[in-house]
Structure 1
Amino acid sequence: MTWEILNIVAVAAFAFSGAIVALSERYDIFGTFMLGIATPFAGGIIRNIALDVPVVHVWEQGYLFYIAVATIAIVYFFPKSWVLFWDRWNIYLDAIGLSAFALQGGAFAVAAGFPLGGVIFAAILTGVGGGMTRDVLAQRKPMVLHQEIYAVWAMFAGLAIGLGWVDINHTFEMYLLFFVIILLRVLSYHLGWHLRFRDLYRM
């Protein structure tokens, strides 16, 4: 049940985010649905390819595809005056998707028996892959390349899961980590936390 809820939240958040970006870039209905679908599922596909796991596993949970399509349809028929408003809130939707998918990727790797490095790698790819795909397709600068810390929080989720700090079978611990990653991502955005070590050398 924990994973079902996290998957639903992650897919809906990323599908919503992808659709909002598509509409803000004036995509037509086909482009909106394509970008909205690519955002929640691309990370899992990239992860499976990198870990040499059959990609078909990503598509076996068919209800998530319908959730994505329904979410995109709702967004598409929003009054167009709402699009710019929601685009300003896209950072929060992205933080939700980043956190949920990073946890999912880390837990997926643990269940598959991968070592710590594989768990961290899976968490990063699953967490940031969808958002990066969305931004690249929309010809935007990917969030993962921004100065604010982004991919590090996915790596932290993988580290916490891989080292056993968080038990993937313990609902409370997983949801606690889920909200902690969201909080850290939002704080890093608003407070301008970054990894520009170059600036330290100039001091």
Structure 2
Amino acid sequence: MAGTEEGRWRDLGAYRARGIAGWVALAEGLDKMVTGIESPVDSERGLAARLRYLTASDAGYEAMDRAGIHVRPRTLIAWLAEETTPNKANLARLDAAYWELRRRNVVADLKRRLNNRGRGTRIEIDPVDQSQVERRHQRDLETRDINVRGGVWDRAVDAWNAGDRHELDAIWDEIIQALGTDWDAYTYVSSVGWAA
């Protein structure tokens, strides 16, 4: 049943079980590994740091272009010199461009860390939350952990970076099939923990 996103949970909320698709938890875990400037974009420090990062390379200018920042060079110079401040819409675009570039720049590092010289990375899979499900409808599920390796991380990081939910869903199915006969009970989960 690869790629169904349902498996055993055809109607996840029917008995008040709560969870998210495993591929979403996988993507959220990768998102959390992308670190960067913590100061908000509308602070002096946050804006200056983002502008420096974005204007340090051609890739940064390309990220600004993709984010819809189309200003004259004079305007950009004034922003860098802190003579003027971008309007609210351009601040949001600068922030989006910054994080998009950070994601692109960490891809190789994420693959290296997660592949761990061929040893892979262990993840902990927490099953759906059944605390609101009547006892007679609960399934006997437990937290599972699995070591993921064999090129899966390269594909997962590439799919995450491209925003390819279908590929992430297929990769998640591949990961959980290693859990044995219960694998489809983990198409939806509460969370995924990382050892990376």
Structure 2 length as normaliser, TM-score? 0.31
Higher strand share: 2
Hey, which of these two has a bigger chunk of helix by percent?
A: 1
TM-score by length of 1: 0.30
Structure having the higher Rg: 2
